[in-house]
Structure 1
Amino acid sequence: MDLSKNNFNGTVHYGLFGKSHQLETVNIQDNLLYGKLPRTMGSLKNLRELAISNNMFSGTLPAMNHVKRLESVSMRGNILSGELSLNLKHWKNITYLDVYDNLFEDVMRDLKLGKLHKLESLDLGRNYFIGSISSNMGLLLEMIDFSENDLSGNIPYQISNMSNLKELRLDGNMISGDIPPGFKHLYNLEFLILTDNFFDQEMHSDDDLGTEWKSIVEIKLDGNSIHGTIPNSFCRLKNEMKLQVLVADCDIIVCDCCTYCGAR
């Protein structure tokens, strides 16, 4: 079922899914729909793709513990609330999850991300998740966006083992400590966005953090207490035209190759 981008306005009637148990795809994103999602959505046992992004759905998700074949869930840009974990623990086949810009509230450990072994893309940005970043997440992840939540603690070193990781967006939280040394082995990393946290790392010109980042496009370190001197490896990447954006707080860190200087 694909009803996306039609400017449909109104609520979704429970009967829409009541007799549609064989549906594998529900795509109603990019409309003007609002209200609660019908509880009959929980009866779609064959559902593999759910796309409801960019509407005005509100309230909590219906119980979807029988919808176990889900592979892709896109809910960004709504007003959905409650605990995502109540359903997420049943979606063991999921590879793509995007709930950016909602009102979900969960403690990160309750999401049990380590049990989602097939997950490749995870966007929890702009919600109300709290706690520390899980040290046990799937190694297949290519994109992680935890931006604009209330996360704290350090970046777990286990993220260094995610060899497929291309994007890590942690901006707008309360994360502290250092960038794990093992990050230098994230060969496929393209975006490292750490703006507006509590990182207090001292960097040195001879640090080898970026020496193996062959695909890096953007590094943002501003809005922290990262101080010292930007590594020469970052500047080499900039001079080689690979790194396009490098932002740091130049009032506390020497950065002759920054494209923009923030100010703490």
Structure 2
Amino acid sequence: MGKNNLIGEIPYEIGILSYLVALQLNGNMLQGNLPSGLQNCSRLHILDVGDNLLVGKIPLWLSHFFELMILVLRSNKLQGQIPNPLSNLSKLHVLDISHNNLTGPIPSDLGNLAIMLDPHPQVRSANASEHSYYYKEEIQVINKGSELTYYDSILLLITCIDLFENQLYDGIPLEIGNLQGLHTLNLSRNNLIGDIPITFGMLEQLESLDLSNNKLHGNIPNEMLKLSSMSTFIVYNNMLCGTIPTGGQFATFNLTFFSNNPSLCGFPLDNKTCKCGEKSNIDMAHLLDEEIEEESEIPWHWYVEWMASFATGFWGVFGILIVKRYWRRKYIQLLDEVAISFLDRLRGIK
């Protein structure tokens, strides 16, 4: 039922189809939440509801779909965090929850997705022949920077995690490096910070890695030179620094893959400033302007101290004159004497 003009909500009663193996509702205009009745369809191998208008959180009951191999929730309006229990999906080949409004950190438990721990594709190939009669439709997956379409049992030869364009933050978990059978990883257009994990050097089957449009810093790990299958490595629009690793697949990468990292240098870039910890001239000028602006401003507590001192001095003198009549007379007499003395001096000058 994908790519029709279906509107409204997915009916709760769909859960009656408890023997359903594949449900593809992608490319419609469906709204509302994933119905809780769907959790009765625990035999699902494919669930694709991408490119709709679905809202709410990713339901926890999805983690009970132990036969699930393809989960596509992309291009909806889902919110909340990525549930940790999704790591229980031991047969999951494709996890695509890109282009939503998901927040929070990337769960470290995603590094436990069992089928992606296996670095030997021939094992998955055997599974593909066993279940090939289920997969007669197509699934779109973002791979190597482009949307590719996979058909039939070829799907079971692909492993993919796509978290593109959400609002995820914090660092990339080191545990993602455990997924030695992972082919495609897309974490671009989020708010991720920190270093590229050194454990990425263990992703020996990785073909495509997109970390662009984040706030990553630090060096590109030299351990990634081991990734002989990686044909796409996109990190533009970050704050990476240091020298790009030399040799291996890095010798084949495009200039645009590394652009807009002011402190990153080495082939194929021409940047001169590349030492980590150094600020670019623009950054230094900006910091200097901020320091001058801060120094030119009078601290707020200075006003409080000045007013307190003034009030103490004023009432310390005039408070006594108001209360003590004797001192008040003496003060007026002193003022008179000063005034007369001043006038006498003026007459003497004349």
- The DSSP-based 3-state class of the residue aligned with 2:223 is helix
- The DSSP-based 3-state class of the residue aligned with 1:40 is helix
- Picking from 173, 187, 192, the partner of 2:228 is 187
Determine the structure 2 residue equivalent to 1:200. Answer: 241
Determine the structure 2 residue equivalent to 1:162. Answer: 203
Q: Deviations over 1:98-118 (max 9, x none)?
A: 11100112322x351121131
Higher strand share: 1
Q: How do 1:92-171 residues align onto structure 2 when only pairs under 5 Å count?
A: 92-108=90-106, 110-119=107-116, 120-137=159-176, 138-171=179-212
Q: How do 1:3-152 residues align onto structure 2 when only pairs under 5 Å count?
A: 3-15=1-13, 17-62=14-59, 63-108=61-106, 110-119=107-116, 120-137=159-176, 138-152=179-193
In structure 1, distance between residues paired with 2:84 and 2:36: 14
Change (3 A) 1:42 1:210: farther
Q: Deviations over 1:49-76 (max 9, x none)?
A: 1101111111113332422211111111
Whether contact under 8 Å (2:84, 2:109) holds in the other structure is no
Whether contact under 8 Å (1:189, 1:215) holds in the other structure is no
Change (3 A) 1:218 1:55: farther
Structure 2: unaligned runs, 5 residues or longer:
117-158, 275-282, 284-350
With the length of structure 2 as denominator, give the TM-score of the two structures.
0.61
2:231 maps to a residue whose letter is: E
- The DSSP-based 3-state class of the residue aligned with 1:81 is coil
In structure 2, distance between residues paired with 1:150 and 1:214: 25
- The DSSP-based 3-state class of the residue aligned with 1:64 is helix
- The DSSP-based 3-state class of the residue aligned with 2:201 is helix
Q: Does 1:222 align with 2:259?
A: yes
With the length of structure 1 as denominator, give the TM-score of the two structures.
0.80
1:50 maps to a residue whose letter is: L
Shift of 1:26: 0.7
Change (3 A) 1:186 1:22: same
In structure 2, distance between residues paired with 1:155 and 1:86: 21
Q: Spell out structure 1 runs of 4+ moving beyond 6 A.
A: none
Whether contact under 8 Å (1:170, 1:194) holds in the other structure is yes
- Picking from 218, 227, 249, the partner of 1:213 is 249
Higher helix share: 2
In structure 1, distance between residues paired with 2:56 and 2:162: 20
1:146 maps to a residue whose letter is: L
2:210 maps to a residue whose letter is: R
- The DSSP-based 3-state class of the residue aligned with 2:56 is strand
In structure 1, distance between residues paired with 2:42 and 2:192: 34
- The DSSP-based 3-state class of the residue aligned with 1:112 is helix
Q: Deviations over 1:127-155 (max 9, x none)?
A: 12122111112111111100011111111
Q: Deviations over 1:228-261 (max 9, x none)?
A: 4x33xx5xxxxxxxxxxxxx5x56579xxxxxxx
Question: Aligned residues, how many?
Answer: 230
Structure 1: unaligned runs, 5 residues or longer:
204-208, 235-247, 255-263
Change (3 A) 1:223 1:187: same
